[in-house]
Amino acid sequence: MSLPAGMLLVDKPRDWTSHDVAAVLRKLFARGVKVGHTGTLDPLATGLLVVLVGPCTRLQARLQGFDKVYSGTIRLGVKTDTGDVTGKVQAVFPVPPLSLADLTRALAALEGEVSAPAPAYSAVKHRGKALYAYARAGIPVPVKPRTCVIRSWKALAWESPELTHRLSCGSGTYVRSLAEVLGEKLGCVGAVSSLRREKVGPFDIAQALSLDAARALSPQAVRRVLSASLSVLDHALKETPAR
């Protein structure tokens, strides 16, 4: 009997790690079947997690290169150790009087290539170890700025200190870092207060199953979902040549 292979699109709930979601879905399959995902979402974040199964886990590196689309909120005037509102507050600044038009211009000015350090609490490696491991141990490490690409960044609503926005960006972008960059540009600081991933390349959150629905799939339904995903994956890969 052939190994299961394919893709599951799952809507990650808040307060779950991406690793935990993959671990739950792994229980749908026999022991030894590989299950992985194409890009971590922070516990605070919700939204699209592309989960690969069986031999399709070999495609992880290629699919990680897709652009992403996020929506969410940024709280201006607050800086935390994690870059989002779940972290320890490190600084509080007054938020200047701003209009939605001011914020629209500020976001548009950041479109293109932006240099920003990765968050201290992230999986970016330093000497073979994730930055979050150093942060949890209280060990400071130098973090080099990373270049990310902002395709489009729109201000949707503004009720001080909360900015609602929508961001289209290249792979490897940390929205928490961009929140801090934006805050500094506006003369204050900023932290992510909510985040939802809407798209990963051609894959859309509208196509995703809730985690509860995914974990409740029967073996027959799992096979149908995986089988149907193979042509979708093939089309996506044709649109993204190997590097």
**Catalytic residue positions?**
42
Cα distance between residue 140 and residue 190, in whole Å = 21
Sign of CA dihedral 74, 79, 84, 85: negative
Which distant-in-sequence residues (6+ apart) come within 8 Å of 135 by Cβ? 81, 120, 121
The residue with tokens 């992880």 is 60
Q: Tell me which amino acid residue 121 is.
A: Y
H helices present in the chain, as ranges? 18-26, 60-63, 100-109, 131-137, 175-185, 211-215, 219-239
Q: Tell me which amino acid residue 235 is.
A: H
* Residue pair 21/12 in contact by the 8 Å Cβ criterion: yes
Beta bridge partners of 6: 53
Measuring CA to CA, which residue among 43, 38, 48 is closest to residue 10? 48
